[in-house]
Structure 1
Amino acid sequence: MVFRVVATVVSLAALGSASAFAADMPAIDAPVAAAAVNEGWIVTLKGTAVVQPEFEGAAKYGLSGYPGLSIRRPGQPWKFGAPDDGFGFAVIDTPWFQMGPVARIRGERDSSDVKKFFGMKDIDWAIEPGAFVEVYPVDVFRIRGELRHGVWGHEGFVGNVSADYIQKFGAFTVSLGPRMEIGDSDFMNEYFGVSASEAAANGRITPYKAKGGVKSVGAAGAVTYDVSDAWSVTAFGAYNRLVGEAADSPVAKKLGTKDAFTAGAGLSYSFGVDW
């Protein structure tokens, strides 16, 4: 049921975009995926430093870093990328529609890092492969949906839906828009459920089983400056609030918080390869 919501949102967005462009767009070029292989690729490597909660639901903050990667064909028109997008590349790429594989890395939960989480189980780092869809109803507005499945840290399905208003001012690109994350029962219970043994060991909370649904809602914004054709720097921030089953969990109500703030900066470098 949860992921019918994601699929419906993405489908409606795509249909709406198609209708808006049908009247005034020229014939859409063939997808880039069908182009000759010898055209090569443009690879963008990213490094990001971010201040954010130590893990899901925690009130304690820490500094961390992570890499990023995106790939596109030479000659493709510029496409916006938000700092909180998963990393991947478009297999289908038209002026108003993109689709392709995506992946994210979700941080671990080391309960010893936050005193109130004593007795709670640790959760390993998770890799979440999946797919994304993007549509542009107009040039300055992007709607993006991701659907992924976790391995290692969790084995649930998780989805993200976002929208961004985008403006370019010379070498600067500014974006702002809402965010929503959804998880199935396996995902939600892994991060927000409390077993009887955990409750007994912690002593402050009672057992809790989290159901699937909307995990959080919020907003994110970013400013990117293109130093050159190859280099760019980005500053960004976000606010997300746990809702539904996640907000009702003792993880948020007793041990941590429903509110999460994020601030960070990133550096990107793009180069061509002939694969």
Structure 2
Amino acid sequence: MSSRIALLAAVSVLATAGAARAADIALEQPVAVEAVKEGWIVTLKATGTYAPKFEGTKKYGFSGFPGISIRRPGQPWKFGAPDDGFGFAVIDTPWLQIGPVARIRSERDSSDARKFRHMDDIEWGVEPGAFVEVYPLEVLRIRGELRHGVWGSDGFVGNISADYIQRIDKFTVSFGPRTEIGDSDFTNTYFGVSRREASFYGGRIRAYKADGGVKSVGVAGAVTYDWTDNWATTAFGAYNHLTGDAGKSPVAKQLGTKNSYTVGLGLAYSFGVNW
């Protein structure tokens, strides 16, 4: 358990490009963002979601997680969707961003859903990788992520998304499609059924090996309101549909569902630091 916690903490620190300085941030006196001329602008985030306990199940629950981002004063505003992986740009131009990214995938605890009680548990997934963002138009962002599991699964997984973005006074509105792709190792980890697992269901489900491909498609949208230069609130929602071998799996067709929804609310506080 301690090694798992340490690994999750390390990935979060590296992926957010600045969490290692969190202790220093707490010592700084907050100042209005527009008044910051040098140093850094730090944004601390807290997000709560209502979503499936794990992918494929019909059981929903609440969860929360923190976040952090850091930018230089004067850097142009850049859009970030609530369902982006944690990352930062090492190549940062008005139309192109490239950098490292990471995601943490929910564990599958078979005790959370009655129909899954004979399925193996799956540990929390840790997926580091890289992302690319392009802006073919000022109001259109296309983002791709490619990651490899180092905990939970050991396969490759990728996300492709597009967002139409509009800023209207203090509101920022975004909406667009989502696709997730996984290789055989990734897809079979979460949607495969072993002979041993199938044997507990008395013939109601069969053993199943899931191959790679397009795992899911969906849409996501968000609305952010800037209350002040320091405080902002984001409400968001998403719909996801399992497809390919994931959608054909007994995990989705008999034990759970192909369709899922996520809603959430986030709060962000930005302030300046001089270091």
Q: For residues 16-35 of structure 1, give each alpha carbon's deviation from its aligned partner in whole angstroms, at most 9, with x where no partner exists.
A: xxxxxxxxxxxxxxxxxxxx
Quote the residue 2:42 is aligned against: 43
Quote the residue 1:100 is aligned against: 99
Instruction: Name the SS for the 2:153 alignment partner.
Output: coil
Greater shift in the superposed pair: 208-217 or 265-274: 265-274
What is the alpha-carbon distance in structure 2 between the residues aligned to residue 93 and residue 172 of structure 1? 24
What is the alpha-carbon distance in structure 2 between the residues aligned to residue 84 and residue 233 of structure 1? 15
Does the 8 A contact of 1:88 with 1:100 survive in 2? yes
What is the alpha-carbon distance in structure 2 between the residues aligned to residue 68 and residue 149 of structure 1? 21
Q: What is the CA-CA distance between 1:147 and the residue it aligns to?
A: 0.8
> Is 1:78 matched up with 2:85?
no
Quote the residue 1:249 is aligned against: 249
Unpaired stretches in structure 1, ≥5 consecutive residues: 1-38
Count of residues in Structure 1 that have an aligned counterpart in Structure 2? 237
Quote the residue 1:69 is aligned against: 68
What is the alpha-carbon distance in structure 2 between the residues aligned to residue 154 and residue 43 of structure 1? 33
What is the alpha-carbon distance in structure 2 between the residues aligned to residue 181 and residue 220 of structure 1? 13
Query: Match for 2:210: what amino acid?
Result: A
Quote the residue 2:213 is aligned against: 213
Instruction: Name the SS for the 2:200 alignment partner.
Output: helix
Does the 8 A contact of 2:147 with 2:156 survive in 1? yes
Greater shift in the superposed pair: 148-157 or 137-146: 148-157
> Is 1:230 matched up with 2:205?
no
Quote the residue 1:272 is aligned against: 272
Q: What is the CA-CA distance between 1:66 and the residue it aligns to?
A: 1.5
Query: Match for 2:225: what amino acid?
Result: Y
Query: Match for 2:106: what amino acid?
Result: G
> Is 1:157 matched up with 2:156?
yes
Quote the residue 2:126 is aligned against: 127
Q: What is the CA-CA distance between 1:60 and the residue it aligns to?
A: 1.2
What is the alpha-carbon distance in structure 2 between the residues aligned to residue 159 and residue 43 of structure 1? 28
Unpaired stretches in structure 2, ≥5 consecutive residues: 1-37
Instruction: Name the SS for the 1:206 alignment partner.
Output: coil
What is the alpha-carbon distance in structure 2 between the residues aligned to residue 208 and residue 41 of structure 1? 51
What is the alpha-carbon distance in structure 1 between the residues aligned to residue 178 and residue 246 of structure 2? 16
Query: Match for 2:258: what amino acid?
Result: K
Does the 8 A contact of 2:99 with 2:131 survive in 1? yes
Does the 8 A contact of 1:70 with 1:87 survive in 2? no
TM-score of the two chains, using structure 1 as the length reference = 0.83
What is the alpha-carbon distance in structure 1 between the residues aligned to residue 40 and residue 250 of structure 2? 47
TM-score of the two chains, using structure 2 as the length reference = 0.83
CA RMSD of aligned residues (A): 1.2
What is the alpha-carbon distance in structure 1 between the residues aligned to residue 39 and residue 189 of structure 2? 41
Does the 8 A contact of 2:119 with 2:197 survive in 1? yes
Q: What is the CA-CA distance between 1:126 and the residue it aligns to?
A: 1.2
Does the 8 A contact of 2:105 with 2:126 survive in 1? yes
Query: Match for 1:83: what amino acid?
Result: P
